[in-house]
Structure 1
Amino acid sequence: MKAVRTTAIAIGAGAIVVSGFAAAPAQAARIDTYLAAIPNGTKLSDNEISWEGGTVRLLMSATQASCPSGWYCVYEHSNWRGAMAKWRSSPAKCKKFEFTRYWRDKISSFWARGNCPSDNYFLKDKKVAQPDPFEPFVGKKAYVRYNDRYDYAAHGL
């Protein structure tokens, strides 16, 4: 029988509590594989990794409620499900945020809750010798226009 764990993730002055997720060995192995592929990460739990002093995070199992105010969140599946990558906005991150190899061509939904100007922040797909398909990265969308195609978030067209 799998043990059911309650995970609390402290964010600023508040906390988000996600309960009822089974601590699956496959998920823990996925975290370890991700840590090996992307250096300098800190394992926070069997569900979460952080980089850059906690300003970039990955949750292997997330919901819409996992995206707090002040963060940009992209999800692996539509309707804000599956793995979620998130980063805090800052002037440097508003200019360009490259997704890791794992996240390239995997974005299926998003919630933009950061502080970049909403009229000029976009999800983009790198294309060689062609215009890059893009989508305004504002508000929240249960599914994206170019599903499983985006490679980075950037300021301006």
Structure 2
Amino acid sequence: MDDHRAQVEELLADYRRSREQLASVQRELAAVSGRASSPDGTVTAVVGSGGKLVELELSELAYRRHRPEQLAELIVRTVGEAAATAAEGTYQTLGSVLPSATDPAALVAGTADLQPAEYRAELAQQPARRRADDDEDNEQRESWLDSELIDRRVR
């Protein structure tokens, strides 16, 4: 009987350690964040755990330097960079507790149990994202706000 009791105690101790480790990993994952700024410094984004946008900062110059569609794309791109940084933090946190053969990125993406051909087919079905040519658009430094004000005064 004592041998059985010792086994039960050992299993309970293992369970408690595993549960404590899981709680620790969950706290680390909740604290993961990523921060990115646009190349010109007019947009800064912070993304928290799970890829959620938690902070977006636009400088006054953002409205002067970029037309609305350019600014929108710059915001999306900057948030994407912050999300990628946060994702890397997530992968590092998970990588410390997963078996060495497990890819944390694949686990988070939900493709850990799929063969590469299966998830490549899924990716091929997603619509391609449109990227605007910022160089050509940024050559024109006229502020879209000033243009709108001039148009209003002329009317």
The two structures have a TM-score, normalised by structure 2, of: 0.22
Q: Which has the higher helix share?
A: 2
The two structures have a TM-score, normalised by structure 1, of: 0.21
Q: Which has the higher strand share?
A: 1
